[in-house]
Structure 1
C-alpha cells in the first residue's frame, strides 16, 4: 500500500475531491470543508487526522482493502488520542473548544460512512452540547474564527436534528434526546455570514423537529390511556399548519424562479411532506394504519414526496435527502413504490449508511404488516431486531 505519507496523501486527495462535497448544498468554491476546514488542518494535527480518517473511511467504501482499513483505524485512533489530550487540558481558549467540537462531528461522520456505526456514534453529538454552550458564551475576535464557528454550529445542529429517522426518543435515562435538547436557534445561526452551506433550503423544516419530538414524548404518555389533551391537540394542529406553509415560492427572492430555485422548492417540499408524516406519527403513536383517514393523509404525503425525490438525485441537493427518504420509505406499501426508493438509493454513493438504510427498508417492507408502517413501525422494527441507524 505504501508509506504513511503516500497513504495520507491518498486519503486527503479523496477528501478534497469527493468526501468534502457530501455534506454541503453549495458549490465547491463556497464549500467550508475546503475553504476553512482544510486550511485549518494544515496547521492542526487533530483536524488533519480527523479529515484523513474521514476521507479514508469514505474511500474504504469505494475500494475496500485491508490496508486502507488498517490506516483508517490508525488515523481514527490518533484522533481519539489527540482529542482526549485536548479535553484533558481544559483550556479556556475558544479555538481549543472549537477544535474538539469539529473532531467530535467528524468522528460522528466516520461512524455514518463506515462499518463501525453503532450506538457510540450518537455519543459524539451529545458530547458536543457542552462545547457549543461554551463557544456561544465566548467572544470570537477574528473573522476566520467566526466563520469556523458558524460552519461548525450549523453542521452540529443539522446532524443533531436529522440523526434519527423516527420521532421516538434517541436518548437514554441519563442523556436527553439530541433533538429536544437543542441549544441553537436558527436566529443565532443566521447571524453568521456562512449560514446556509448545509441547511439553506431546509432550515425552516428542521426547526420544527424539536417540537414534534416533544409532542411525541407527551403523546406516548397519553395514548396508552386513549386520551388526548386539548393542549397536545392544539400543538398538533399548529405544527401541521406551520409545516404546510413553509418552503413556498413566496419565500424565494426575486428575480423569477430559476432552475436552482425550483430545485430548492422541491427539496423543501420533500422535507415538508416527511415532516408532516413525522408529526402525524408523533401524534398517533403507531395507530395510523388502523385509521383510514389518517392513513390516507400520510400516504398522500409519502407519494407526493416520492414523485419529487428522483428529480434531485443528479443535483448537489441529494446530499440532504437521507432523512426524508427513510421517513417516506417507511410509508410505502407496494413493489412499484419500493422500486423508486431502491433506484434512488442505488444511485447514491456506496456509503455504509445508505446500504444499511436500504437493508432496513427492505426488511421493513418484507414484514408486510401494518404494525410496521411509518416511522413508528420503523422504530418498532429496529427495537425488535436490536439495530440502530444514524443519518447524515
Structure 2
C-alpha cells in the first residue's frame, strides 16, 4: 500500500479488514468461493474508484462492528469516495470515462456500503438506480469480454438488492418496480442454470417472485378501490379475476419450490425461511390494508408464522448465512403479536449484529420495534413502508 500514498496511512489496515472480515460478512458462505474477494479485489487493483470504495466499505463495517457507530476514518473515506465516484460519473456523462463496467460495480459497492453503514436516508436507492443503467450499458457493450463468473455475480448482486429493497416502497404512492426487465431476464437465466450465489444462496427463484407479489398487492388495491367506488363495469370484474388467477399461480410456484437435496442443511433452512416469508408476503397482499388480522387468511398466516419461527430456531444466529436474512426476518417479525416472539427475534438480530456487524441489521430491528409498537391491525409486511414514512427511516433489507 506504500505505492498508493493517496489512500492514507490506514489503507493497509482497511484492506486487511476487508479481506478478513468485511468480505466474509457480505457473503453468506453458500458458494465455495467468495466473489467479494475473487471478483472484486482484482478489479480494485485496476480501478482507483473500486479500491477507494472497497476501503470505504471496510471502514464503515469496521466502525459498526467495533464501535456500533461510524467513526471519523469511515466518514472521511466515505466523503472522498462519494466525491471521486461523482467525478467519474460526470466523466462518463461527458464521454471521457469509457468503462461503464467499473462504474456499475462501483454503484453496487456503494449500495452495500450503505448496508454496512446502516444508512436510514434511502441513499441506497439512488445508487441502485445508477447501477441499473450503468450495468445495462456495460453488459450491452462489453458482455463478450466480461468473465462469466463476474457477469453472473453482478446480475445476482443487482437482482438481490433490487428485489429485497422493493418492500420499502409505499404501494399506495407508486407502482414503481426496482428490478429492470432486461436484467431480470438475465437473473431468470441464472435460475435455469441452477446458479447458487453468495447473496441469493439457492433461493434466487423466490427472490424473483417478490416483484410479482408486489404487483399483485397493487392490483388488489385497485380492485378494492373500484368496489368502494361502486364501479360495476366489466373492467374491474375482469381485473379481479386476473388478480385471483395471479394469486393462485404465485401460491403454487412458491409452494412448489424446494432446495436441492445436495445443499447444506443450513443453506436449505435459509431457503425455507425465505419461502415461508414470501408466503406471508403473498397472504397479506390480498387484504387492501396489508394487515395480518383480517378474515381472509388469519389461520393460514398464523400457521406460516409458526413454521417460520421453527425454522429460525433451527438456524444458529451466529452463522454467516444470516447476513442474507434481514428481509425474511422483517417480514416474519411484522406478523408477530406476542412479546415472547418479539424478544426471540430481538435477541437474534442483536446476536447477528455483534457477529456480522452490518448496520442494516440494527436498522431492521429498529423498524420492527416501530412495527411492534403499533396496534396489531396496523402491522404486517405491507405496513413496513408506512412505518418508514412515519419515522423518516428509509432502508433496504438487502
TM category (shorter chain) comes to 0.7 to 0.9
SS at match of 1:198: coil
Q: Is contact 2:61-2:117 (8 Å) kept?
A: yes
Alignment match, 1:296? 299
- Residue 223 of structure 1 and its aligned partner are, at CA, apart by 1.5
1:330 to 331, 334, 350: 334
1:282 aligns with 2:276: no
1:232 aligns with 2:243: yes
Alignment match, 2:231? none
Alignment match, 1:246? 257
Q: Is contact 2:371-2:387 (8 Å) kept?
A: yes
- Mark the CA change 1:172 to 1:285 in structure 2 (over 3 Å): closer, same or farther: closer
| In 1: Cα distance, 2:118 partner to 2:351 partner | 20
TM-score under structure 1 normalisation?
0.86
Alignment match, 2:397? 391
Most deviating of 378-387 and 179-188 = 179-188
Alignment match, 1:378? 384
- Residue 244 of structure 1 and its aligned partner are, at CA, apart by 0.9
- Mark the CA change 1:334 to 1:191 in structure 2 (over 3 Å): closer, same or farther: closer
Q: Is contact 1:11-1:52 (8 Å) kept?
A: yes
- Residue 159 of structure 1 and its aligned partner are, at CA, apart by 0.5
| In 1: Cα distance, 2:73 partner to 2:10 partner | 8
Q: CA RMSD in A?
A: 2.8
Alignment match, 1:199? 200
Q: Is contact 1:25-1:198 (8 Å) kept?
A: yes
- Residue 31 of structure 1 and its aligned partner are, at CA, apart by 0.6
SS at match of 2:26: coil
Where do 5+ consecutive residues of structure 2 fail to align? 228-235
Alignment match, 1:257? none
- Mark the CA change 1:191 to 1:103 in structure 2 (over 3 Å): closer, same or farther: farther
Task: Give the number of aligned pairs.
Answer: 376
- Mark the CA change 1:40 to 1:132 in structure 2 (over 3 Å): closer, same or farther: closer
- Mark the CA change 1:28 to 1:17 in structure 2 (over 3 Å): closer, same or farther: farther
SS at match of 1:211: helix
Where do 5+ consecutive residues of structure 1 fail to align? 254-259
- Residue 101 of structure 1 and its aligned partner are, at CA, apart by 0.8
TM-score under structure 2 normalisation?
0.85
Alignment match, 1:67? 72
Q: Is contact 2:188-2:205 (8 Å) kept?
A: no
| In 1: Cα distance, 2:28 partner to 2:116 partner | 18
